[in-house]
Each structure stands twice: as C-alpha cells, then as structure tokens.
Structure 1
C-alpha cells in the first residue's frame, strides 16, 4: 500500500470519527482530530509569514529583486515551509495507523455489545475503523446513552 492511499484512509477515519465528549477519556482520536483540524487552519498563515519574512530579511522591500532577496536565505525558508506543510500529514498517517489497529479485549467486548444492540453482525477481527463505524451508527440510532457503558 502506498503512502497516498494510507493518507486517504487516515483522512477518512479522521473525518468520520465522532467528536463526543464521552469518548475523550477513552480514545485519543478526539484530541488528535482537534489538533490536526487546528493545524490545517493556522499553518497556512504561518507559511505565508515565513515567506514574507524571508523576502523582508533578504532586502526584497528595499528595491532588491525578488530572486536575489530569496537567494540569501532560501534553504532555511524552504526547510521551514516543508516542515510546516508535513505536520498535518503526520496526523493523517497517525490516523491511518489507528484505523488499522486491532481492538483490545475491552474494546472488542464493547464493539460486540454495540453490534448486538444494532442487530448487526460483528467483524471477526475488528479494527478501530470497524469500531468507529459502529459508534457512528450507535450514536445516530440510540444517542449517547450507550457510550456511558464504555
């Protein structure tokens, strides 16, 4: 499986994960989802600021042509921009890793309970992605009352 398909699975898992307050103490997905979503909002202005600062430090606003202004500190600027652009990708890869993780015994018992309440056949070797789908169906059908048993 290539990196692009892993990122797509991670993005799908992140977008589908329910942001329920009752799930916060049990699963780290809620906290990481909020952090990645915040990063997607605030990192682009930082990237623009870094590029603006590189032009300013190179003398681009004092009449020096843009290519000469960027050439003085271009490697450092490029590394900073690439680092900031890769931060959300690390979150997506973390979500992929969590999506394919097998459930532990307690989570598996809860997954089987939710599937029995939904009258749905549970998977043989359930992953976190299966649990997420069951949780979404449970929340839509029964509300958050069943989550208190977790």
Structure 2
C-alpha cells in the first residue's frame, strides 16, 4: 500500500486532533511536544516567512532574491515537517509493551461500561490515541490517573 505525502499530511492532522493533550502523557510520549510545536509553527511560520523574505530584500536588495526565497520556503516547511512526523507516527504499529498496555486499558474501559470497538490485533498509534482520548473524555480523572 503506497502512501503519498498528502495522505501522510492528512493522517498527521487527524492524529494531531485525536491525541489527548494531557500533562500525564507528556513524559511518556513525544506527541504532546510535537503537536504543540506544530500548532505554534502553523500559526507563526507563514508570517515569519513573509517577514524574513521582506527583510532580506529590503536590506540586501533583489540580488539576494534566491536566498530570500530559500529561507522563506524553509520557514514554510516547518509546519509540514511536524505533520509528516505525526502522520508517520500514527501509522506505526505499537511496540509489544505499549500493545499490552493498550489491551489492558481497552479491557478496563469495557469493564467500566464504555462503548468501544473491539481491540485491534495489531494496533497502531492512532488506535492508542483514540482510546486514550475516549478514556480522558469519558472517565473520571481518578480512574485515568491509576493507569498512568
């Protein structure tokens, strides 16, 4: 199954929206930090790219146009790099230790009465993100604190 850059970017956006931004998860997974940096870069980098190009052209003149465009393109590529990382990560299979943790949380959530799909045989990070988001949204904080 071939994945295109656009599908990876879409997967990254979906994963960024699905991953629960909980402080308990920051120490266990890099997703929280990557998502925060990606959201910031989506907001800031277009303006920074325009400002950089304008300043280089203003200070050094149009003979530096290729360098100005290259620097602007670099700043514009930073949000895409974050989305690509997130998209790639969302499609990776969970390692065995996280796989057992995923199954354990899934079982405990079903015992608490959460309506869940059946667990995947080979879950990916996107399934873990969806499960964790459901856990943080539907269960009380005392119950989720015991898992982390």
The aligned residue for residue 65 of structure 1 is none
Asked if the contact 2:105–2:147 (Cα under 8 Å) also holds between the matched residues in 1, the reply is no
Per-residue deviation, residues 48-100 of structure 1 (Å, max 9, x unmatched): 21122133125xxxxxxxxxx53x11100110011111111111110011101
The alpha carbon displacement at 1:45 in A equals 2.4
Partner of 1:94: 85
Greater CA deviation, 42-51 or 2-11? 42-51
TM-score (norm 2): 0.86
Q: Equivalent residue for 2:133? A: 136
Residue of structure 1 in register with 2:108 after alignment: 117
2:1 counterpart of 1:3: no
1:83 partnered with 2:74 = yes
Q: Which residue of 2 aligns with 1:31?
A: 33
Change over 3 Å in CA distance of 1:106–1:147 after alignment to 2: farther
CA shift digits 1:107-132 (9 cap, x unpaired):
11221122112324210000000000
Question: For the residues of structure 1 that align with 2:48 and 2:125, how far apart are their CA atoms?
Answer: 33
The residue number in structure 2 matching 1:62 is none
Task: Give the secondary structure class of the aligned counterpart of 2:45.
Answer: helix
Tell me, which stretches of 5 or more residues in structure 1 are unaligned? 59-68
What value does the CA root-mean-square deviation take over the aligned residues? Answer: 1.5
Superposed displacement of residue 147, structure 1: 4.5
- Shifted more, 41-50 versus 72-81: the winner is 41-50
